[in-house]
A and B are shown apart, each in its own frame.
Chain A
Amino acid sequence: MKKSIKLISAVLLLILVSAFTVNNASHKGYKVGDVAEDFSLKNIDGNMVSMSDYSDAKGFIITFTCNTCPFAVMYEDRIQALNEKYESKGYPVIAIMPNDTNVKPGDALPEMKKRAKEKGFTFPYLMDEGQKVYPKFGATKTPHIYVLEKTNKGNVVQYIGAIDDNHRDASGVKVKYVENAVDALLDGKEVEQKETKAIGCSIKVAKASSNAH
């Protein structure tokens, strides 16, 4: 009995500690210039996807997005357009859905499949199962974009932020942040605007963590 009490308290402690680490981690994550660690996440087609699968890529447009955030929805077509434009040039889009699906059932795998089919996504739409990848990046919201450049050191973060400067109206966009960043990298130049800010939906963390928050 004593042993099991010890065990239980240890497990509880572990849960509490891990909850706090998740919360803390959300304010850290990669900065421009950092090397991003590879991941292995399940795609909507059931296959696992890693950056290392893309031997020909020059880099990646990693997009944290979901079905349920109105900002993310406004950008769906523009994310697809990014992939159409840049996949062939060596910068494919990899979309990652970071939300806990108990908190947001509308982001569960079957819903992701449905949306990807409706919208004709030509890029992988991965589930961050266990919510381990988005804290490493330091993503806080959807949509949240990270442009990575493949180098000898690894995949280096070159841009963090929004897709462009007008979420509401694609035709009213003045500055295309992500396109500018990728174009600069393709030209072998330095990215001018390395970070931008935009309103988005906070990433929904699993209930156990938010209780300890």
Chain B
Amino acid sequence: MKIVIDKTLKHFLHKSLLNYKKCKELLINFIVMKLNILIIAVFLMTISCQKKKETAKVLNETVEQVVEKEVSLNDIQLEVYDYNGFEKFLNKKDNKIHVINFWATWCAPCVKELPYFEKLNSTYNNQNVEVLLVSLDFPHLYDKKLKPFIKEKKLISKVIALDDVDMNTWIPKISKDWSGSIPATIIYKNDTSKFFEQSFTYQELVKEVEQFLN
């Protein structure tokens, strides 16, 4: 009997020692992993913080530049075009740099980058840069959503609406590279143009516009 108990005990001790070693290994691995994750998280947070600061700065600056005045919704004149009517905005040969941004109030990444276009408009206005914001909002929401948005955000760039359901006809005319997602932006001067199906930061936007300035 004693021998049996002895053996079992030995076996058990041996096993738990092994378990202990395994446990230790696991624990160390776990701690290293956690550290890594923490560092990555801090890294990512720093980046997003910087971005937020940038947005806030741009917003503040834009707001400062607008002289405070009350605009009533009725004062907001919204030009609405079908594609044929809109086409003239894509073909101006006036030596100006035209920045045309396709957006909508329902498109979150579009709304996020609007302040950058507003800042571009005010900063580069004297350098022949013209910003045009082309809203793809739904017509039944022009009065309920779009106009209140223009008023609330005090947009200074020209806003027009493009209303043409036959998208398969006009999207390729704007760019053969455009799959149809927004935000999308065209920058052009006379016969040179560049198309972007992406979101911009202010720096990225300036970098592209500067290429047209030189």
Which of A168, A169, A207, A211 lies at the interface centre, i.e. has the most chain B CB atoms within 10 A of its CB? Answer: A211
Question: Is B106 part of the contact surface with A, judged by Cβ < 8 Å?
Answer: yes
Stretch from A8-16, A50-58, A122-130, A182-190 at the B interface = A8-16
Contact with A along B150-181 (1 / 0, CB 8 A): 00000000000000011110011000001111
Knowing A4-B35, A141-B180, say if A161 contacts B168 (CB, 8 Å): yes
Contact (Cβ within 8 A) B138 A11 = no
Tell me which residues across on chain A come within 8 A of B22, comparing CB atoms: none
Question: Is B39 part of the contact surface with A, judged by Cβ < 8 Å?
Answer: yes
Question: Is A179 part of the contact surface with B, judged by Cβ < 8 Å?
Answer: no
Contact (Cβ within 8 A) B107 A201 = yes
Contact (Cβ within 8 A) A202 B182 = yes
Tell me which residues across on chain B come within 8 A of A166, comparing CB atoms: 165-166
Contact (Cβ within 8 A) B167 A198 = yes
Main SS of the interface on chain A? Answer: mixed
Complex: A199 Cα to B183 Cα, angstroms: 10
Give the interface residue-count category, chain B: 20 to 34
Nearest Cβ on chain A to B140's Cβ, whole angstroms: 9
Question: Is A93 part of the contact surface with B, judged by Cβ < 8 Å?
Answer: no
Question: Is B14 part of the contact surface with A, judged by Cβ < 8 Å?
Answer: no
Tell me which residues across on chain A come within 8 A of B32, comparing CB atoms: 4, 7
Tell me which residues across on chain A come within 8 A of B198, comparing CB atoms: 213
Tell me which residues across on chain B come within 8 A of A203, comparing CB atoms: 181
Question: Is B89 part of the contact surface with A, judged by Cβ < 8 Å?
Answer: no
Contact (Cβ within 8 A) A197 B181 = no
Contact (Cβ within 8 A) A196 B168 = yes
One of B40, B43, B168, B181 near A202 (C-beta < 8 A):
B181
Contact (Cβ within 8 A) B171 A198 = yes
Contact (Cβ within 8 A) A198 B48 = no
One of A69, A199, A208 near B136 (C-beta < 8 A):
A199
One of A161, A167, A168, A201 near B181 (C-beta < 8 A):
A201
Tell me which residues across on chain B come within 8 A of A162, comparing CB atoms: 167-168, 180
Question: Is A120 part of the contact surface with B, judged by Cβ < 8 Å?
Answer: no
Contact (Cβ within 8 A) A141 B179 = yes
Tell me which residues across on chain A come within 8 A of B3, comparing CB atoms: none
Contact (Cβ within 8 A) A11 B40 = yes
Contact (Cβ within 8 A) B138 A198 = no
Contact (Cβ within 8 A) B40 A15 = yes
Interface residues of A in 77-102 (CB under 8 A from B): none
Complex: A106 Cα to B39 Cα, angstroms: 29
Contact (Cβ within 8 A) A8 B182 = no
Tell me which residues across on chain A come within 8 A of B166, comparing CB atoms: 165-166
Nearest Cβ on chain A to B113's Cβ, whole angstroms: 12
One of A12, A165, A200, A210 near B180 (C-beta < 8 A):
A200
Among residues of A, the one whose C-beta sits closest to the C-beta of B37 is: A11
Complex: A166 Cα to B109 Cα, angstroms: 24
Q: A140-B197, A211-B51 are in contact. List 13 more A-B contacts (CB 8 A).
A: A7-B32, A7-B36, A8-B36, A70-B138, A161-B168, A177-B168, A198-B167, A198-B180, A200-B180, A202-B109, A203-B181, A211-B48, A213-B198
